[in-house]
Amino acid sequence: MSGRKTVQVQQQEEKKFNFRKLLYSQKIAPYVFILPFVLTFLIFWLFPLAKAGVMSFQEVLPGQTSFVGIKNYSKLAGDNIFKIALWNSLKYMIGTLILLIPIPMLLAYMINSKLMSAKEMFKSVFFVPILTSIVVAGTIFRLMFGEMDAAFMNSIMNALGLEPVKWLKNSFTAYVALLFLACWRWMGVNMLYFISGLNGIPTELYESASIDGASSFKKFIYVTLPMLKPTITYVLTISIYGGLAMFTESYMLWAGKDSPQNIGLTIVGYLYRQGIQKNEMGYAAAVGVILLAITMIINIAQLTFSGMFKKED
């Protein structure tokens, strides 16, 4: 009996040893490290995406679902409110790209300069807005852009001798308010991305340019910009996604209510309206699939144009 126990103990020890050997194997270790990401991707991205794709061909009601083919997409094609939401999102995305790429880049270049003092203070000041709740920020900006003469923006208008403006009831001024909120919130984040990219540029390149007699402007054009290309591409990619996926800013700016003539309605806002408020989950899923398709097409196009998919020589 003692001999059998000894053999069983030896077999258990061998199994433990083999398991540890397998776990610490150089071939298995990489897969162990990426397993959390793969599981997260499958559970929280791929599965919901597949589910939304299926739902977009269904009519989803409480307790029952029925297949309706391309009815939801046909309805979208003739939905004027969806077209307004799509245009609003595209317009907002373009505005954020124009403002939130060159300006943070120039700020980062200035802060990263050797002549700049109190760098850490400026970084902290610009980064603070992203730590603020968007609910709080949206409420503050709604008060700033209020209709009353005492509202912050109208106070400025009065000081300039101009008439007060109903900021959130006019398409253009509402657009300006959304861009103000976007710049206030995301300027510092993008600036830190560019600072990180600037810190990765070898100082030898600037020294060589100085020896060749290059001015600061030429250094920026011929050294800084080419070396910042990966950072610019990354910021551009996330800004495209962020612009098209914007919802909470618009929702809070109009206090959760429908904006006048849908001037603040975005694609995600329209998805929320159809899926949550009207309980048309199948139609909302179709809106989400179209949004994903548009985002992917724009990002793949800009990545192809920037040469990110080209093989290096």
Min mean pLDDT across 25-29, 92-96, 243-247, 294-298 is at 25-29
User: What number is the average pLDDT over the span 286-297?
Assistant: 93
User: What number is the average pLDDT over the span 24-53?
Assistant: 83
Q: Do 48 and 103 lie in a common domain?
A: no
Tell me whether residue 64 is in a domain.
Answer: no
User: What number is the average pLDDT over the span 229-244?
Assistant: 93
d(C-alpha 254, C-alpha 208), whole Å: 54
Q: Do 82 and 123 lie in a common domain?
A: yes
Tell me whether residue 3 is in a domain.
Answer: no
pLDDT band at 255 (very low <50, low <70, confident <90, very high): confident
Q: pLDDT digits over 161-196, tens only?
A: 889 999 999 999 999 999 999 999 999 999 999 999
Residue 185 CA to its chain's centroid (Å): 12
Q: Do 187 and 221 lie in a common domain?
A: yes
| 261: its two tokens | 């003539």
Q: Do 239 and 107 lie in a common domain?
A: yes
Domain CATH number, residue 268:
1.10.3720.10
Q: Is 18's pLDDT higher than 80?
A: no
d(C-alpha 306, C-alpha 299), whole Å: 10
Q: Do 263 and 151 lie in a common domain?
A: yes
Q: Is 30's pLDDT higher than 80?
A: no
Q: Do 116 and 173 lie in a common domain?
A: yes
Tell me whether residue 6 is in a domain.
Answer: no
Q: Do 90 and 226 lie in a common domain?
A: yes
What is the number of domains present in the chain? 2
pLDDT at 21: 64
Helix (H, G, I), strand (E, B) or coil at 133: coil
d(C-alpha 102, C-alpha 187), whole Å: 10
Tell me whether residue 62 is in a domain.
Answer: no
Q: What is the DSSP string of 43-107?
A: IIIIHHHHHHHHHTTEEEETTEEEE-TTHHHHHHHT-HHHHHHHHHHHHHHHHHHHHTTHHHHHH
Which residue, 179, 175, 177, 176, is CA-closest to 100?
179
Q: Do 222 and 289 lie in a common domain?
A: yes
pLDDT band at 26 (very low <50, low <70, confident <90, very high): low
> What's the chain's average pLDDT?
87
pLDDT at 8: 58
Q: Do 34 and 181 lie in a common domain?
A: no
Q: Do 187 and 249 lie in a common domain?
A: yes
Task: Please give the residue range of the domain that contains residue 43.
Answer: 19-56
pLDDT at 74: 93
Q: Do 145 and 260 lie in a common domain?
A: yes
3-state DSSP percent of the chain in helix, strand and coil, to 5: 75, 5, 25
Q: Do 264 and 199 lie in a common domain?
A: yes
CB 188 within 8 A of CB 129: yes
pLDDT at 307: 75
